[in-house]
């Protein structure tokens, strides 16, 4: 006899929903990071800019450092928080 896991809902959907929320959280964090540095440091007169590696600090921190930070965060999240889920239909039998 076929049986769905607890509650009648496939556990893969619960995992997928959790991972989707984590992905949305990362995207929101990325936007906040970019916006805060781009408009926080870049909102002043260009003659007052400081430079990092020849780039304006607002650009370096929002775009260059942001990519590095996000790559590290995505790596950590995928490595430690995401689960490998099979796409095959599973058959659950009563014991």
| pLDDT surpasses 90 at 18 | yes
**Looking at beta carbons, which pairs linking 69-74 to residues 24 or more positions away fall under 8 Å?**
69/33, 70/26, 70/29, 70/30, 70/33, 73/26, 73/29, 74/26
In this structure, are residues 87 and 10 in contact, taking their beta carbons and an 8 Å threshold?
Answer: no
- Predicted TM-score (pTM) of the model is 0.77
Q: What are phi and psi of 36, to 5 degrees?
A: -65, -45
Residue 10: band (very low, low, confident or very high) from pLDDT cuts 50, 70, 90: confident
pLDDT computed for residue 75 by the predictor = 97
pLDDT tens column, 23-36: 999 999 999 999 99
What DSSP string describes 5-33? SGGGS-HHHHHHHHHHHHHHHHHHHHHHH
């Amino acid at each position: 006899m076929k049986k769905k896991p607890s509650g009648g809902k496939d556990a893969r959907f619960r995992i997928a929903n959790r991972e989707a929320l984590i992905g949305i959280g990362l995207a929101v964090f990325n936007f906040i990071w970019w916006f805060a540095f781009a408009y926080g440091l870049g909102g002043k007169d260009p003659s007052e800019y400081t430079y990092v590696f020849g780039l304006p600090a607002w650009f370096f921190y929002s775009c260059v450092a942001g990519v590095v930070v996000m790559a590290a965060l995505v790596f950590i999240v995928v490595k430690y928080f995401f689960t490998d889920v099979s796409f095959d239909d599973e058959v659950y039998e009563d014991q």
